Amino acid sequence: MARIVLLNKPFGVLSQFRSDGHHPGLAELVDIPGVYPAGRLDHDSEGLLLLTDDGRWQQRIADPRHKLPKTYWVQVENIPDDSALARLRHGVVLKDGPTRPAEARRMAAPDLWPRDPPIRFRRHIPTSWLEIRLREGRNRQVRRMTAAVGHPTLRLVRYAVGDWTLDGLAPGQWRCLEVPPLARGGRKRRAGGSRPGQRGRRHGPRRS
């Protein structure tokens, strides 16, 4: 069986095990040997980061060619109108070319942990939340897309990768799942049965 670790990466933590001298790495949160990140989140983004000990699963999760959707909850400046949402849905032209169409909708403010440090508050500028689902992974793509339609990102939380979500995980907490290994070509190998996911050690404060 392969292992996949679901980690709720806190703000300010790198998506690598080593610190860069300015930001802590994953080694301070995850103590499972032999796993490595499948994809990344910027240090100023939060939420679901997957790690695995299986190279084929790593490629399946991280490579945009597999079109595994990634869902983000994004707090932006002001309230995007239907025109701004339509631009996100049809694709936004960035410096490195047009993006693929995305799923984008307004959403109520999610029930999240407080960010440390908090976002910059401006009394006369309202904020709102979007749910954006992508099937590609450019550098700082969500932030660049919202800025391109006139709504800079203030806070970015990745909620889901495929069917995996951060439900039940406070910042810094993780759980470990056992999944069938992938055969060549990315398909799961058949097995006589699979064990339920193993709950990993919890790190960080629990949500009340």
* pLDDT tens track for 10-55: 999 999 999 999 999 999 999 999 999 999 999 999 999 999 999 9
Phi-psi region of 171 (alpha: psi -120 to 50; beta: other; left: phi over 0): beta
Looking at residue 186, its pLDDT comes to 59
Looking at residue 120, its pLDDT comes to 87
- Residue 187 — very low, low, confident or very high, per pLDDT cuts 50/70/90? low
**Would you state the structure tokens that stand for residue 59, as one six-digit string?**
């490629």
**Would you state the structure tokens that stand for residue 204, as one six-digit string?**
């960080």
Which sign, positive or negative, has the C-alpha torsion 35, 36, 41, 45? Answer: positive
Q: How many C-alpha atoms does 131 have within 13 Å on its Cβ side?
A: 11
pTM: 0.86
- Residue 202 — very low, low, confident or very high, per pLDDT cuts 50/70/90? very low
Q: Is the pLDDT of residue 188 over 50?
A: yes
Structural domains present in the chain: 1-67+162-208 (3.30.70.580), 69-161 (3.30.70.1560)
With beta carbons less than 8 A apart as the criterion, state whether 46 and 7 touch.
no
Catalytic (active site) residue 111: no
Average pLDDT of span 86-92: 96
Span 91-133, pLDDT tens digits? 999 999 999 999 999 999 999 999 989 998 888 899 999 999 9
Residues written for the chain: 208
More confident residue, 207 or 141: 141
- DSSP for residue 169: -
- Residue 191 — very low, low, confident or very high, per pLDDT cuts 50/70/90? very low
More confident residue, 195 or 180: 180
Q: Which residue in the list 42, 44, 53, 63 is annotated as catalytic?
A: 42
